[in-house]
Amino acid sequence: MPWNKSRNGPIVICPSSEMLYRFYGTTLADWIDEVTQNIQKQTDRPISIRFKEISPKDDIDELIRQAWCVVTHVSSAALDSLRMSVPVVTTGVCAASALATPISEIENPNMPNGREALFSLLANAQFTIEEMSSNNIIDIISNLTVDYFNTSVVV
């Protein structure tokens, strides 16, 4: 699926849990403040914050589909965004980071090739208990990762 280049919605911030930020020695509120300030230095687009604890009636997929881009630390919302062809900014290192845009480029976000390769890598790294005990999983994952980062992603 090609990148969605016709989107014009808000920048959607999808924070991780408070516990994660405490692990990194900060707070959820501090991360939101810092990210919001950094975004506002780059653009005057509207910003929407979507917390994980939102009611089940809130459809995160629809929110992401309408977004200019999604900003998160290490949330699965980053992968949801890539899956729906919407650019993503990650402030931490996660599976989506190789395809993410820096906040400084949020007005002209990256839309690199490699989403299909990333999802293939993630799917191929899912193992059953039997596979984990009978195969050399470390070698398999190492080879998948080397192939992905050396040949599949064009940034």
pLDDT tens digits along 121-147: 787 767 777 777 776 676 766 666 555
Helices 115-124/137-147 angle, 10° precision: 180
Per-residue pLDDT tens digits for 29-63: 999 999 999 999 999 999 999 987 765 556 888 88
Q: How many helices (H) and strands (E) does the chain have?
A: 7, 4
Other CB atoms within 10 Å distance of the CB of residue 24: 12
- CATH architecture under which domain 11-105 falls: 3-Layer(aba) Sandwich (3.40)
How large is the greatest C-alpha to C-alpha distance in the chain, in angstroms?
54
In the chain, CATH 3.40.50 sits at: 11-105
Top mean pLDDT of 4-8, 104-108, 136-140, 149-153 is at 104-108
Nearest CA-CA partner of 70 in 82, 52, 56, 55: 82
- Buried/exposed 112-150: b ≥16 CB within 10 Å, e otherwise: eebbebbeebeeeeeeeeeeeeeeeeeeeeeebeeebee
Give the three-state DSSP class for 26.
coil
| DSSP one-letter string for 54-107 | --TTS-HHHHHHT-SEEEESS-THHHHHHHTT--EEESS--TTGGGPPPGGGTT
Check pLDDT > 80 for residue 89. Answer: yes
Give the three-state DSSP class for 123.
helix
